[in-house]
Structure 1
Amino acid sequence: MGRKMKDVLAKSIIYLATGITLCVLLFIVGFIFVKGISLVNWDFLTRDYNEKVFYAFVQEEVVPMTIDAASLSQKDPYDKRYESSLEGPIYIENIGAAIAKVAYKNNATEKEQFVFSYIEKDSPLLSAIDSTGKKLSIGTDYILESINGTDFEGLSLEDVAAQINHETGELKIKVVQPGGGVRSNIITTLYMVLVSLLIALPLGIFGAIYLTEYAKPGRLVNIIRFAAECLAGIPSIIFGLFGMAFFVVALKFQISLLSGSLTVAIILLPVIIRSTEEALKTVPTAFREGSLALGATKLQTIFKVVLPCAVPGIATAVLLSIGRVVGESAALLLTAGTVAQIPGTLFSPGSTLTVQAYYVAKEEGNIELACAIGIVIIVIVIVLNILSRITSDKLNVFNKK
């Protein structure tokens, strides 16, 4: 009876621990989604974080309004940074669009702005071009600042509408595309994953091959394994300090994508080495002996027999590495920077999604936007893991054939 009670108690503890773990995970993910899902839309994914100012050249053309006044009054800009509508909207026929005066909040500042609240499908705004003749896209939440050099600051909505109606011919319109998006952060994160894996994977795999296939058991091998395990437990900020001192300052790579990738590659090496080493050890010794008996060299045996059999373990190392790169922030703050832009070269700075989430949460106190970025991070990790798993499965099928 006592033994049975102990089994029941042990099983209850196991179930309780599993339930607590699952609840904590669901609570964290649920909190992120509840807080940030309202901000996630197509514009959030395709726009940069910083505002983009440009001049659009538009040929004035009278376009009658095709909706009634009641419907027009309900056309409000959907960007959540427009705190409230102050005036309008008013439809302007010679640009085929309606404008409204709103309270526009940009980070910690708030000011009055004029925005497009409705654009007709035949509006000349949809055929706008820049000074080079490149076609521009103007949306219903874009800010209108001036036309033909006339600044609208301090004017009423009626004055602005009258000024636009007064203009004829080609119109030069100063427009601001709202920021708040994460396009550049997504691209920078993918660049960081690609470059760091291109550096770390070959080094880690070859290091594991040496430890498993060539190194003789002894003090040196034990020291190398111990060093790798110690590196895996060192906080990433230490790697960031090293990367800043060595890659940024000593090698003069500056704060850049390359400095960040090299630093993250060092962080990934222990994970890749240990995972790949364990995968190589699972390959039966008979496979090696059979290959050598058939006349293959040791190098041919490793690359033709051992490595293909270890693909699942190497795929696991890749999965863990992707998650580590995407989730890294401390080291990248010191080496890659916090500039929300797409790096033009390897020597350009850039901000990953995690760094951007830290910035908006810490510097701006915008928890909702940080949670929205967190949703994007979760989705990217899931997608990359699925792609890695599919690739691993395909390689396994190919090897079996």
Structure 2
Amino acid sequence: MDLTHSPEDEKFRTEIRTWLADNLVGEFGAMRGLGGPGREHEAYPERIAWNRHLAAAGWTCLGWPAEHGGRGLSLSQQVIFHEEYARANAPARVNHLGEELLGPTLIALGTPEQKARFLPPIVDVTELWCQGYSEPDAGSDLANVRTRARREGEEWVIDGQKIWTSLAHHADWCFAVVRTEPGSRRHAGLSYLLVPLRQPGVTIRPIRQLTGTSEFNEVYFDGARTRADLVVGEPGDGWRVAMATLGFERGVSTVGQQIGFARELAAVVADARSNGTFDDPLIADRIARAKLGLEVLRTHALRTLTGEPLAGAESVQKLLWARWHRELGELAMEVRGPSGLTVAPPYELDDAQTLYLFSRADTIYGGSDEIQRNILAERVLGLPKEPRP
């Protein structure tokens, strides 16, 4: 695994670092650190303006081919961008579901007409997307999808419910996995549709979480419609397309994520030093383990991105960071002691409390720990499959 950067890469690092320093000023500078996990509600309109400012300067969709509006940057340069963006504590971006999931899926599997229609607004951050996978009875078990779509003339008519749909209340469109073949079961008979959300027949209800925020939503489809040609791949081929999308989910942005984790760990250490708990050998040991764990995360991520493909590497990465981050939240509360249980009315959480509460979900969303272990056991190690009802 070669972790060295070429002179061209270092020149690129200087370019993005300088641009961020010059542009994260004034109103944009006031947004530093806003909008991370569990805090997606923070300065949302202002962060849209910042994201469009990024787009105008050519800092969106960096890895996309130039013919699709991207910059065609190397993997190394994409990693550098995410590192420097995180180090600058720039506000969380609002279009990652379109840029990092749907866009690459359309580039790989979409029709020319779909690419021409949907890729430019993702690059420009003028249309926002959400992901319609999970349902009340089909969370990590995506093959159990029950939302249905039937063909009526030149449209698909959709009925059903999605849940835990991140940022649906801000999105213009949803890429949804639905069942289009009556009587089909499991992986067969699914289709991957692009569905406009701003129409009659779509109801979006935010879900209030432990953090008091509501970036997750329930989405109800009651006779909602989308054009017949807005199916990615062939009808009935939705499982393959959905898996392709998930393959793009854990990409270069995870390196930037880990810099954010390091910032959170530093805050925990600062708390421990200020209140004296750092002198507790048990706390000191857990902090040391957290630092070592973070290095493991980074090394595994870079090896996965730059080395030979490793079977199950994405599942291993999800297991590693989700458990590490959840344990960091628990450590933050151990360091705080009883004061960590105190919340200022009307329910104002500080950063450590938000970290603790939101990180409880890390081992569930994006594929639960149990599902990731099943993937590794069955598809990588070849162990017998779990009995299914």
Bin the TM-score by the shorter chain. Answer: under 0.3
- Structure number with higher helix proportion: 1
TM (normalized to structure 1)?
A: 0.27
TM (normalized to structure 2)?
A: 0.27
Structure of larger gyration radius: 1
- More RCO (CA 8 Å, sep 6+): 1
